[in-house]
Amino acid sequence: MFYIGWRDLQFRRRRFIIAILATSLVFAIALILSGVSGGFHSEISRSVDSFGAGGWVVPASAAGPFSNSKVFAPEDVASAIQGGGKVSAMAMARVPHGDKDVMVFGVEPGGIGPKATSGRDARRSGEVVVDESLGLGIGDHLELGKRFEVVGTYSGRTIFAGSPTAVITLADAQKLTYAGQPLASALLTERLPTTVPAGFKALTNAGAEADLGRPLKQATGTIDFLRVLLWLIAVGIIGSIVYMTVLEQTRDFAVLKAIGVQGRSIFSGLVTQAVVVSVASAAVAALLTLLIKGFVPLNTEISTGTYIALPIIAAIAGVASSLVGLRRAVGVDPALAFG
Amino acid sequence: MLSIKDLTIEYSSGGYVVRPIANLSLEAEAGQLVLLLGASGCGKTTLLSVIAGLLTPASGSVTVVDTEVVGLSGSALTQYRRHTVGVVFQAFNLLAALTASENVQVPLRAAKWSKAKARERAEELLATVDLSERMHHLPGDMSGGQQQRVAIARGLAHDPPVLLADEPTAHLDYLQVEGVIRLLRNLADSGRLVVVATHDDRLVPLADQIVNLTPRADTTEREPERVELAAGEVLFREGDHGDLVYMIDEGEIDLFRERDDNSEELLLRATAGAYFGELAPMLGLPRSATARAVGKAVLTGYTLRSFRKHVGGPTAGSLLEGAADAHDAAEV
């Protein structure tokens, strides 16, 4: 008896179109939030991966390489590390640039660290490799306390939800941050070390990612919470439309039961309507998202999996929302048909 | 074909037990057009609901084509509703989103008929009710008479031996009424039992059997009737029909209503010299309370006319007022 639900859907199409539009807007916002959340996570992974390190050594009291404020003499620590392969020191500084902060990493030329994808790496003092989001090209200059020349660029290596990064030599970073003292905030190793000196710890890339994600934890938590709320709103919209339909069709359901249609057949009609509205909303939402995405200032990354999951989740939400009207529709007294 | 024995139907309304049908018996055969006549609220539709297997009576039995309807449940009830009785509801009750053909197909598709077979059968039935041209129209695009004929075609979907119709002429103009009446008569003539609940007496000349659910009060003049009751003896029950007004000569009478929790609500303890029971014969309504002797009691039962003479010729209006004052709105 699916066709009864389907034909009713066609008959009341104006109402269902309004419901689909409203629900698709909610779904689209949920998708955008998923994209923002996904953007945060992939930004973190991408940035950590760009260092090409197999392990990170930091003071034991530090949460990780990106939040550590305790500096140390890298040579002493590096010599005590075992099983890590090649070791490079890293210094880090946050430098204001216009309305943004640039996260500047100082790495040893030729050592482990982010590489330029266009141009070349910084080899000498006064050279910098920048993320393209800074809007600079090779040959341009960047003011970081002193004037640096851009010799290379890369893209998509931002941190903290869009702050661009730049890479200079370790010596320049030490001058910028530690008044030229030979200090570092972390050591990058080729592999995860088996032994580190007392007072230090070794982190995997996952540990480094967790550290980089710490400042965004509340933001991502809030986004996830809002996403759940939006799903509930979408279910609420579909549920209320289905429930209103049930209220209006109480007499029809009574007639159907009176002429021998079983309760489960009536329910299947309701499920058809709810699932069609949900899946159609998901499809419209996917199109809307493609249009809206470009206007969102934050990096928004929606995976294909999310687009595929949306109609499936929407269909489940549709079935759940149709349960709202189930009891009333199935429990209707067939004698009402005579009323 | 249809056999109803000692049928009593009760339902709860406002905390009280309402008994629109009490101890009804009825027999009807295939090929008959049976009219259930009566005023609004007399239980015509309720009786149809019981025959259709939509309502369970308080007592009695209803047998339709060798099937005892009372007590049917689950798939047996579904099969009964699908195959034994066809129902035509008041106000048509077609599904607004479905075309005439689709409406007729609903009971067939519910019984797992294939789409093609159901469509073929719907076309055949709509042709029978002279609606071949309106097959693909929505109910909203059809006249009341056409909708009623679609409803009849739907009721005939499984070719049931019994067709029940509730007020089939209620929403139709006289031209449409003629077509529907002729159709119902033809359906009966073709060997089907057609039971119609109506208060439209234009159907009366075509009926084979008329069941009046609002019996008119017996207006035959007769001598006052002396009634002696033992303690606890019931004079009449709520729901009974009656044509006498009672005056208490000796003793006391309790007038009470049955509540739906099986308790009794005493409306009045009438004493010697009081009268009660005037509304049932005056308005043709069933008794709305039960009268029971408290101890030994002696009463006189009067017809309305003789009661008026006896108490000094009150008008119907003053009787009504008197009833309201004396009985605290216990209109029995």
Over the stretch A174-188, which tens digit does the pLDDT of each residue have? 999 898 999 999 999
Q: pLDDT of A213-272, one tens digit each?
A: 888 888 888 988 998 888 888 888 888 887 887 888 888 888 888 888 888 888 888 888
B44 touches chain A (CB under 8 A): no
Residue B327 is predicted with a pLDDT of 47
B127–A contact, CB cutoff 8 A: no
Residue A70 carries which DSSP code?
Answer: -
- pLDDT at residue A80 in the model: 92
In the predicted model, is pLDDT for residue B323 greater than 70? no
- Look up the pTM and report it: 0.69
- Residue to substitute from A259, A262, A270, A332, interface B, most B β-carbons within 10 A: A259
Taken in order of first residue, the domains within chain B and their CATH numbers are: 2-212 (3.40.50.300), 225-327 (2.60.120.10)
Distance from CA of A235 to the nearest CA of B (A): 25
Q: How far is CA A169 from CA A75, A148, A165, B193, in A?
A: 16, 11, 14, 102
Reported as a pLDDT band with limits 50, 70 and 90, residue A329 is confident
Is the distance from CB of B87 to CB of B126 less than 8 angstroms? no
What is the token pair recorded at A144?
């970081």
* Per-residue pLDDT at B331 exceeds 50: no
Judge whether residue A339 has pLDDT over 50: yes
Contact A238, A277 (CB under 8 A): yes
Burial A296-324 (b: 16+ CB within 10 A, else e): eebbbbbeeebbeebbebbbebbeebbeb
- The Cα-based distances of B294 to B258, B267, B327 in angstroms read 17, 14, 17
DSSP string, B306-329: HHHHHHT---HHHHHHHHHHHHTT
**Average predicted confidence (pLDDT) for chain A:** 89
Contact A7 B106 (CB under 8 A): no
Q: Residue B105 carries which side chain, given as an amino acid letter?
A: Q
> What are the angstrom distances between the C-alpha of B167 and each of A17, B44, B98, B180, B262?
38, 9, 23, 11, 34
Cα–Cα nearest to A134, from A97, A172, A185, A170: A97
Q: Write down the pLDDT at residue A83.
A: 92
Q: What kind and span of H or E run contains B19?
A: strand B16-28
Amino acid in position A232 = L
Which residues 299-338 on chain A approach chain B with CB closer than 8 angstroms?
Answer: 333-335, 337-338
- Are residues A330 and A271 in contact, defined by beta-carbon separation less than 8 angstroms? no
Inter-residue contact B269 to B326 (CB < 8 Å): no
Residue numbers in B near A266 (CB within 8 A): none
The reply to whether residue B93 touches residue A252, judged by beta carbons under 8 angstroms, is: yes
A255 vs B93: CB contact, 8 Å cut-off?
yes
The verdict on A13 touching B (C-beta cutoff 8 Å) is no
Residue to substitute from B48, B89, B94, interface A, most A β-carbons within 10 A:
B89
Give yes or no for B310 touching A (CB within 8 A).
no
- Residue in the block written with tokens 């009964």: B80
Nearest 5°: CA angle at B213, between B300 and B210?
125
Rounded-to-integer distance, Cα B189 and Cα B92, Å: 23
Which residue in the set B87, B97, B138 is minimally distant from A259, CB to CB? B87
Across the interface, whether the CB atoms of B110 and A265 are under 8 A apart is answered yes
Judged against a pLDDT cut of 80, whether residue B133 lies above it is answered with yes
Decide if pLDDT at B313 tops 80: no
Q: Which tokens in the block code for residue A175?
A: 């001058």
Structure tokens at B153: 């075609």
Cβ contacts of B87 on chain A, cutoff 8 Å: 258-259, 337
Give the C-alpha separation, A108 to A82, whole Å.
Answer: 20
